[in-house]
Amino acid sequence: MARILHNNTWYSPIDSASMYESLYESKILNSSDFLFPGYFCLPFKKQVESIYGPAIPDLVLIDREYREWIVVEVELEHHSLKGDVLDQVVKFAAGDYTISHADYLLAKDNSLDLEKLRLLVTGSRPKISVVVPVQ
């Protein structure tokens, strides 16, 4: 079985069925500086409205230069792409992002620049990413 050595610690893959999504989200957040250099990585549990209905994402990545942002859905590999995952991605892509979303994110990290964040969130469409642990 493949392993990864990082900072003198060996990491081995585990079966995604043996963990909860919230645990996986926590692991991503705790390693976000290593995984997503150049981005703020924050929880993003604020409902997004769209013409397809509401959905709640898991995380958001915000470029530290405020050039782009990425709405992230965290899923486990045993969940089917069709149905829930694809449905959420469509809703996030068509989402109506408002100042209240920017304010929510500022409350998660007050080092963010509120004016730049509001312009980014209300003035540009986010990219959408699904993060899945795979063995």
pLDDT of residue 81 exceeding 70: no
Q: What are 4-44's pLDDT values in tens digits?
A: 777 887 776 655 444 556 677 888 899 899 999 999 999 99
Predicted confidence band of residue 82 (pLDDT cuts 50, 70, 90) = low
For residue 39, the surrounding DSSP H or E stretch is: strand 39-43
Q: What are 50-78's pLDDT values in tens digits?
A: 999 999 999 999 999 999 999 999 886 54
The predicted structure's pLDDT at residue 135: 52
CA distances to 1, 15, 24, 31 from 36, in Å? 25, 23, 15, 8
Contact between 24 and 133 (Cβ < 8 Å): yes
Contact between 22 and 76 (Cβ < 8 Å): no
Predicted confidence band of residue 1 (pLDDT cuts 50, 70, 90) = low
Q: Please state the rounded mean pLDDT for residues 106-130.
A: 97
Contact between 112 and 105 (Cβ < 8 Å): yes
The predicted structure's pLDDT at residue 31: 87
Q: Please state the rounded mean pLDDT for residues 82-104.
A: 91
The predicted structure's pLDDT at residue 18: 47
Q: Please state the rounded mean pLDDT for residues 125-131.
A: 94
Q: How far apart (Å, rounded) are the C-alpha atoms in residues 110 and 1?
A: 41
Predicted confidence band of residue 134 (pLDDT cuts 50, 70, 90) = low
- Dihedral of CA atoms 49, 130, 68, 30 in degrees, nearest 10, equals 110
Nearest partner of 134 among 9, 10, 13, 21, judged by Cα: 13
CA distances to 35, 67, 96 from 24, in Å? 13, 27, 27
